[in-house]
Amino acid sequence: MADSSEREAFEMSRREFLRWTGLAGVAIAAAGSVPFVLAEAPEPASASPARRRRWTMLIDLRRCDGCKRCEVACRKEHNVPEGQNWLKVFTLTAASGTFFLPRPCMHCENPPCVKVCPVKATFRTEDGLVLIDEDRCIGCRYCMAACPYDVRVFNWSKPNPPEPLEVHPPDPTFGHRDHRQGVVEKCMFCAHRLKEGRLPACVEGCPMLAIYFGDANEDFVSNGYERLRLSTVLSSQQTFRYKEELGTEPRVYYLPVRR
């Protein structure tokens, strides 16, 4: 548990964050739990109309130690069987040494998976999330073949979830959680959590605070403890996007390891 000085520093940072983003709150309820409230504060009458969100993730590879706690948090949140991860952490070796690369869905702005779906089960929301409507999915797996990031998984067998299982309502705007046989699934940036005003499970689950999430239109990302101005990070740091040369315009950015 944080000491008094750490709490005071966090509270100051929290107040600055709220003033800057105009959001309703960020607080630590318990060690390892970082609720993040996205509910908007009341706007003055002169305020401009609310803009659409443009959800964006930033992963600091300098902080990632390969513990895979983000994988565990994702599986627990979505009741995903082990070995069928929606988020994977890869161990890579370069000339500078070994580093770790968490790979969620990239939620591309130009997603090839959407273009190939014959029944429009894969779609992109106004907020920039690429989701799957499992009521429409026919299991053809064209989207899996089209995805250059290999982030999609197929349910070959009928899942056997632990009881009790809290199932999200069958709302295609954020997908399902009941894991149907014969359909494709993937990371959805925890869209149901965003509706509740919370950070994605992988962000909360990272003990190294390496994963940031936020709204590019509001120009911020946060790991729950810190907030960064996204435009400043992208312009001042050597950020990169995985396979961005393909023109998919992924919404996940990485801060590279420096040795």
How many Å apart are CA 253 and CA 256, to the nearest integer? 10
Q: Which CATH number fits domain 4-40+52-255: 3.20.20.70, 3.30.70.20, 3.30.365.10, 3.20.20.150?
A: 3.30.70.20
Mean pLDDT of the chain: 80
pTM over 0.85: no
CA distances to 92, 127, 140, 181 from 184, rounded to whole Å, are 27, 21, 9, 9
Strands 252-255 and 55-60: parallel
pLDDT tens digit string along 34-89? 445 554 433 434 444 456 899 999 999 999 999 999 999 999 998 888 888 999 99
What residue has token string 């999330």? 129
Virtual CA dihedral for 97, 102, 108, 113, nearest 10 degrees?
110
Let me know the angle formed at the C-alpha of 103 by 179 and 178, rounded to the nearest 5 degrees. Answer: 10
DSSP 3-state of 211? strand
User: Do 159 and 83 contact (CB within 8 A), yes or no?
Assistant: no
pLDDT tens digit string along 185-194? 999 999 989 9
pLDDT tens digit string along 179-236? 788 999 999 999 989 988 899 999 999 999 999 999 999 999 999 999 999 999 999 9
Strands 227-228 and 153-154: unpaired
* Tokens at 173, concatenated: 């705007």
* Tokens at 163, concatenated: 């009881």
SS3 sequence of 170-199:
CECCCECCCCCCCCEECCCCCHHHHHCCCC
